[in-house]
Amino acid sequence: MDALYGSSPALPAPRATLGRLSPPAGALPSYILLGMMIALIAALVARLDFAVDRHDLPLIVAMQFFLLGVATLLRLRGFGRVGSAIEAAVLVLAATMATACLSVLVATIALPYRDAALARADALLFPWLDWRAMFALLHDRPRIVRAMCDIYQTLQWQSFLLVALLPLAGQERRCWQFVHAWFLTLIACVAIFPFVTAAGSYVHYGLTPADIPALDVDTAWRQVAVLEAIRSGAIHGLTPASMTGLISFPSFHAGGATLLAWGFRRIPIIGGAFVTLNIAVAATAPLIGAHYFVDILAGVALALVALHVARRMR
């Protein structure tokens, strides 16, 4: 019979195909973390009776599932590294979206703002700093402000570039360690956020947009406006408009920049330039992102702990 059916030796092929349909082995911890975040979002939405956007958010989620399908198809075709790059990018986006949803939901806890305590911590750690003098310096240097804004906003796309480059450079394990650390840092930030909610340094020190006209990042004032709308009940739903940067302490810009610097330093040719860029991202966060300096220290510390944990995940 075996002689009649030459395909018999290929019987293990279906198992191999099923293996390719499964996510990469290194991706599992991130899927588990994402599942936990989604379960918590669902529980809080039900508990708080929050509305959920039924137009834009489902489209974004559908696009993510489509890209996961593309990643699976590429693995089946033998392009495993490209598939891993796409899958990692989807998970980074999903983690960021889930954190944005959770930050809106936990902001309803509405504990008192901690700006005074954060400002005191800054004064204790950096007694020579003069916030008002720094703001005055920015007012008279619009080109520097615009350059700092451009640097600060690179965090929006750097992670996607990194997870594309690492698998293609044969560093899939490092790619998944980065994604796991990204998840862990975001989860830690959103877990701490409701207990150390802050309006931000610009609001605390009485700055207005007129004081720094070249600043084209609206985080400094939009953050407290959204927080107040959540606390008053004016925002009672998850929409793209409400899912904005709300977390001051710890700074995810600083944490994310730390993770990116770690990831890029093994990329040939451009790695050193991106490490330098991410040092600059963390440095611009206080003045462009309205963070206290202690926010930056906390974000960096969380990222280092997250990397330590992520490198031991399987």
- Mean of the per-residue pLDDT values for the chain? 87
The alpha carbon dihedral of 164, 167, 169, 172 has a sign of: positive
Q: Establish if 10 belongs to a structural domain.
A: no
Q: Please, which pLDDT band fits residue 5 given cuts at 50, 70 and 90?
A: very low
Q: Establish if 15 belongs to a structural domain.
A: no
Percent of the chain with pLDDT over 90: 54
Closest CA to 215 of 282, 280, 286: 286
pLDDT at 21: 52
- List the single range of 93-102, 181-190, 229-238, 246-255 with lowest mean pLDDT: 229-238
Q: Residue 26 pLDDT more than 90? A: no
User: What stretches of 54-130 show up as alpha helix (H) in DSSP?
Assistant: 56-76, 80-106, 115-125
Q: Establish if 3 belongs to a structural domain.
A: no
Q: Residue 139 pLDDT more than 90? A: no
Rounded Cα distance between 314 and 311, Å, is: 8
Read off the pLDDT of residues 61-88 as tens digits, 9 standing for 90 and up.
899 999 989 999 998 888 888 999 999 9
Residue 310 contacts residue 180 (beta carbons within 8 Å): yes
Q: Establish if 92 belongs to a structural domain.
A: yes
Is residue 181 classed as helix, strand or coil in its secondary structure? helix
Q: Please, which pLDDT band fits residue 294 given cuts at 50, 70 and 90?
A: very high
Closest CA to 100 of 215, 252, 221, 206: 252
Compute, in degrees rounded to 10, the torsion defined by CA atoms 206, 212, 213, 217.
-90
HSE on the CB side for 65, CA within 13 Å?
A: 6
- Rounded mean pLDDT, 110-119: 93
Rounded Cα distance between 213 and 285, Å, is: 17
Q: Establish if 244 belongs to a structural domain.
A: yes
Percent of the chain with pLDDT over 70: 92
Number of structural domains found in the chain: 1
Q: Residue 282 pLDDT more than 90? A: yes
Burial annotation 186-195 (CB, 10 A radius, 16+ → b, else e):
bbbbbeebbe
Q: Residue 121 pLDDT more than 80? A: yes
Q: Establish if 7 belongs to a structural domain.
A: no
The alpha carbon dihedral of 114, 225, 291, 134 has a sign of: negative
2: number of Cβ within 10 Å: 8
pLDDT at 17: 47
pLDDT at 25: 60
Q: Residue 11 pLDDT more than 70? A: no
Q: Establish if 57 belongs to a structural domain.
A: yes
pLDDT at 31: 92
Q: Establish if 110 belongs to a structural domain.
A: yes
Q: When comparing pLDDT for 139 and 89, which is higher?
A: 89
In Å, what is the CA distance from 94 to each residue of 162, 197, 213, 308? 16, 23, 34, 22
Domain coverage including residue 62: 20-310
Q: What is the DSSP string of 190-238?
A: HHHGGGS----HHHHTT--GGGSTT---THHHHHHHHHHHHHHTS--EE
Residue 179 contacts residue 85 (beta carbons within 8 Å): no
